């Protein structure tokens, strides 16, 4: 029997209550405000995207091809992002987070103006490519959140992350759905405007673009840099050129993952090869499979709502679609604000994450159920109840994608100075799968619409993605990784 004395702690270290570090509210509030731009700009397009494709005439009146071109329009953004996001995130480890974020905000603003002025499908593609190429902010902002928190308050900080997403997912669809075709919707205000009749979607895009420009000013004036040691872009380029010209002596082998994980030097970003540890690969694989499932579902929902009932959809107009997505954004954000940290502390990261991914199964089954109800009873109480139930179930999936995986990726990083690069690897993989996500989901939906015999093909396809994400989730550890363990 072990002996106890007055200096022996009554609780083992893992049983002792860990004191939480107070959240740095000044910086955190600015970071959360920055996060608004992504959902506002992305969701502003969603309500009118199907009608925009019809208006520019690229489908030549073929309703079954609307979803196909919507999918391409979404996918090209992720093609450009996949080619650049890793470099933006790695760059933020060297020159700092703030310059990269400012560049991304500038790119978003300009691209939204161009999107609203586009009258051809090629113009739409160009604006989305520009937005994807200049915007590496997703991973950089998450890295900055990790920079200002620690293991004791990270879950609490991520519990507030849904607030900007809730606000953005509410404002974005309302702006896009309400301000598209303003000359027709508000004839007293805009009925005499030839410009807005020529460019009916400009106002819906200009609102998010101006908001992003305002966010740029807030970032420039108030945001503090969180990378402790930075270098100028010119010095970084000059050093890179020197390494290409001069032959460097052989470096010691650091490929062993244990050596990387135990690295005590948190001040220097690691080379890309040293990041490819089992932890990073597992977290990235989960991030990629869930990103594929998430983008497929998010692309399908507005197109499903806009497709006529007799073709397998719900037959709603853009304003109503915008209102539905806005209500979902509010409910999603409120749930995560009040319950995310509690669920995390009560059940642990792994359990809640796996259950959240599993919620995709009933969410997918709800699509054909909603259509059958609308065919049988019309757009009535039964249909609205089913729509509300489907969106409620999808809240758990959104919680996993936005918060839990970000914490796993942060824990997988070999050292704190490589957070940007680690997030960049994950976001690059996510961007790559998002290239095929919207296009494949919309292509399968178009195939389902054209051939009634295969009407459920798109749902079988997305169900397969859901089961894949569930299976991969079992690779994650039950307890969060810690550096040096």
The answer to whether 291 and 401 have CB atoms below 8 angstroms apart is yes
Q: What is the mean pLDDT of each run of 10 residues along the chain (485 residues)?
A: 48 53 87 89 86 87 81 84 86 87 92 92 92 82 84 76 78 86 87 88 93 94 82 64 55 40 56 82 90 87 87 84 81 79 79 88 92 89 91 84 71 78 83 80 84 84 93 86 59
Residues 6+ apart with CB under 8 A from 332: 162, 165, 166, 169, 395, 398, 399
Dihedral angle of Cα 81, 422, 412, 286, to the nearest 10 degrees: 20
Measured CA to CA, the distance from residue 72 to residue 58 in angstroms comes to 12
DSSP state of 46: T
State the pTM of this model: 0.70
**Could you give phi then psi for residue 47, rounded to 5 degrees?**
-65, -35
| Whole-number pLDDT of residue 235 | 66
In 193-314, which ranges are continuous DSSP H helix?
Answer: 194-198, 202-222, 233-245, 257-261, 272-275, 278-306
Q: Which helix (H) or strand (E) holds 365?
A: helix 360-377
Q: What are phi and psi of 29, to 5 degrees?
A: -65, -35
DSSP 370: H
Residue 47 near residue 292 (C-beta atoms within 8 A): no
- Say how far apart CA 333 and CA 164 lie, in whole Å: 8
């Amino acid at each position: 029997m072990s002996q106890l004395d007055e200096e022996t702690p009554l609780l083992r270290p893992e049983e002792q209550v860990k004191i939480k570090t107070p959240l740095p509210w000044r910086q955190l509030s600015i970071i959360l405000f920055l996060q608004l731009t992504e959902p506002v700009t992305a969701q502003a397009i969603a309500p009118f995207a199907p009608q925009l494709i019809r208006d520019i005439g690229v489908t030549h009146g073929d309703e079954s091809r609307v979803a196909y071109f919507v999918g391409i329009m979404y996918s090209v953004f992720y093609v450009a992002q996949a080619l650049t996001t890793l470099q933006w995130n790695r760059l933020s480890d060297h020159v700092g987070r703030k310059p990269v974020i400012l560049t991304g905000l500038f790119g978003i603003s300009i691209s939204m103006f161009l999107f609203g002025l586009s009258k051809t499908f090629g113009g739409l593609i160009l604006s989305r490519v520009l937005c994807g190429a200049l915007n590496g902010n997703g991973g950089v902002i998450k890295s900055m959140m990790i920079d200002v928190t620690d293991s004791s308050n990270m879950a609490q900080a991520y519990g507030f992350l849904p607030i900007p997403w809730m606000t953005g997912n509410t404002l974005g669809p309302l702006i896009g759905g309400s301000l598209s075709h303003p000359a027709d919707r508000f004839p007293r205000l805009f009925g005499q405007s030839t410009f807005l009749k020529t460019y009916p979607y400009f106002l819906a895009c200009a609102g998010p673009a101006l908001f992003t420009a305002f966010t740029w000013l807030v970032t420039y004036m108030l945001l503090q840099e969180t990378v402790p040691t930075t270098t100028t872009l010119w010095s970084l380029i000059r050093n890179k050129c020197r390494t290409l010209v001069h032959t460097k002596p052989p470096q010691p082998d650091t490929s062993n993952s244990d050596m990387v994980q135990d690295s005590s030097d948190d001040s220097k970003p690691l080379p890309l090869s040293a990041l490819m540890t089992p932890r990073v690969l597992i977290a990235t694989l989960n991030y990629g499979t869930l990103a594929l499932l998430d983008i497929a579902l998010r692309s399908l929902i507005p197109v499903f709502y806009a497709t006529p009932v007799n073709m397998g959809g719900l037959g709603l107009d853009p304003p109503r679609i915008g209102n539905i997505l806005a209500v979902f954004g509010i409910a999603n954000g409120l749930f995560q604000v009040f319950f995310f940290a509690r669920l995390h502390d009560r059940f642990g990261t792994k359990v809640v994450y796996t259950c959240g991914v599993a919620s995709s199964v009933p969410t997918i089954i709800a699509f054909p159920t909603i259509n059958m109800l609308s065919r049988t009873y019309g757009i009535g109480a039964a249909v609205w109840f089913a729509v509300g139930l489907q969106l409620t179930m999808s809240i758990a999936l959104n919680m996993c994608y936005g918060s839990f995986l970000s914490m796993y990726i942060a824990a997988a990083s070999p050292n704190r100075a490589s957070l940007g690069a680690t997030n960049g690897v994950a976001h690059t993989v996510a961007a790559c799968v998002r290239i095929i996500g919207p296009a494949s989901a919309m292509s399968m939906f178009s195939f389902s619409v054209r051939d009634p015999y295969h009407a459920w093909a798109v749902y079988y396809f997305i169900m397969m993605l859901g089961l894949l994400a569930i299976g991969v989730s079992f690779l994650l550890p039950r307890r969060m990784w810690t550096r040096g363990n």
